[in-house]
């Protein structure tokens, strides 16, 4: 018979198992406690990125505060301007020729457009219905009007090539074009910085207007105008009763 002092007590294996279970459980809870905040942080970051993208898109496209039927066609792109000096002359800036005239005419070829009533009624100003096309109304995007005016002013620079006909160049029509373009330019107010850069050839810092601009994609707007083009001139001497409940002039 063993004496009490000779008895050796060994640790129970059950206690080791309980400690392991507690340790493993603690590890799982620690992992969960760590991963949840990480997931929330990642979700918050992705939401911030999405909100930033949406904000930039809204900030870019919301410049047209007054409704235009063509506003959904507006997209933006970067365009490097031509200087208009020396050899840097696109076809529009070259001396008169049939090719130059055709290029200018092509800029506003689809100037007269039609829009359905549900779009016309959203505009700020009332417009006239189109004879023979019930439910459609006539508009012209101002960009095409400005291009027409600019072309008339260009022609006035070359009286030997474009003989003065009708009202001539010193007329209320030309004054209207100058006034209209002035208002359009100050309305859009392009804030792209013109810069000065050193010219080794001139040994001086020279103004550079041929810089990169953020522009509305003119081709997209032209495509919209072509899709809504009215291919015939409206007879404006025929009265058509109109019921659009919007101001005639805002």
**Same domain as 129, residue 109:** yes
d(CA 45, CA 53) in angstroms, rounded, equals: 12
**Same domain as 88, residue 56:** no
Q: Is the pTM of this model over 0.75?
A: no
**Same domain as 138, residue 80:** yes
pLDDT value of residue 60: 46
pLDDT value of residue 246: 77
List 214's β-bridge partners, or say none: 78
pLDDT value of residue 164: 73
- Split into its structural domains, the chain has a count of 2
Would you say residue 58 lies in a domain? yes
DSSP alpha helices (H): ranges in the chain? Answer: 13-61, 98-107, 117-120, 142-156, 172-188, 218-227
**Same domain as 138, residue 26:** no
pLDDT value of residue 242: 78
**Same domain as 102, residue 38:** no
Would you say residue 98 lies in a domain? yes
Q: Smallest Cα–Cα separation from 180: which of 204, 153, 202?
A: 153
pLDDT value of residue 45: 73
**Same domain as 185, residue 144:** yes
Would you say residue 126 lies in a domain? yes
**Same domain as 223, residue 117:** yes
pLDDT value of residue 29: 54
pLDDT value of residue 12: 47
**Same domain as 213, residue 119:** yes
d(CA 121, CA 115) in angstroms, rounded, equals: 10
Q: Is 74 left (phi over 0), alpha (psi -120 to 50) or beta?
A: beta
List 199's β-bridge partners, or say none: 204
Query: Which residues of the chain fall short of a pLDDT of 70?
Result: 1-34, 36, 49-64, 165-170, 248-250
Residue 71 structure tokens: 């506003």
**Same domain as 222, residue 123:** yes
The parent domain of residue 50 ranges over: 16-62
pLDDT value of residue 9: 46
pLDDT value of residue 113: 97
pLDDT value of residue 36: 67
**Same domain as 91, residue 37:** no
d(CA 71, CA 186) in angstroms, rounded, equals: 20
**Same domain as 89, residue 47:** no
d(CA 73, CA 224) in angstroms, rounded, equals: 6
Would you say residue 232 lies in a domain? no
Pairing type for strands 212-216 and 204-208 reads unpaired
Classify 194 as helix, strand or coil: coil
Would you say residue 5 lies in a domain? no
């Amino acid at each position: 018979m063993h004496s009490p002092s000779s008895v050796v007590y060994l640790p129970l294996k059950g206690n080791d198992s309980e400690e392991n279970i507690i340790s493993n459980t603690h590890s799982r809870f620690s992992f969960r406690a760590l991963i949840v905040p990480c997931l929330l942080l990642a979700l918050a970051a992705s939401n911030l990125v999405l909100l930033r993208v949406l904000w930039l898109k809204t900030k870019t496209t919301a410049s047209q505060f007054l409704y235009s039927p063509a506003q959904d066609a507006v997209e933006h792109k970067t365009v490097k301007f031509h200087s208009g000096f020396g050899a840097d002359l696109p076809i529009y800036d070259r001396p008169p020729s049939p090719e130059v005239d055709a290029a200018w005419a092509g800029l506003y070829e689809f100037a007269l457009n039609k829009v359905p009533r549900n779009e016309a009624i959203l505009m700020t100003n009332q417009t006239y219905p189109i004879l023979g096309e019930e439910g459609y109304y006539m508009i012209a995007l101002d960009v095409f009007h400005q291009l027409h005016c600019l072309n008339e002013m260009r022609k006035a620079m070359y009286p030997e090539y474009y003989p003065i006909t009708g009202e001539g160049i010193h007329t209320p029509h030309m004054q209207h074009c100058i006034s209209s373009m002035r208002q359009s330019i100050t309305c859009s107010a392009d804030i792209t910085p013109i810069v000065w850069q050193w010219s080794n050839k001139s040994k001086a810092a020279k103004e550079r207007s041929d810089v990169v601009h953020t522009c509305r994609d003119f081709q997209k707007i032209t495509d919209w105008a072509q899709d809504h083009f009215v291919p015939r001139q409206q007879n404006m001497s025929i009265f058509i009763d109109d019921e659009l409940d919007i101001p005639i002039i805002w």
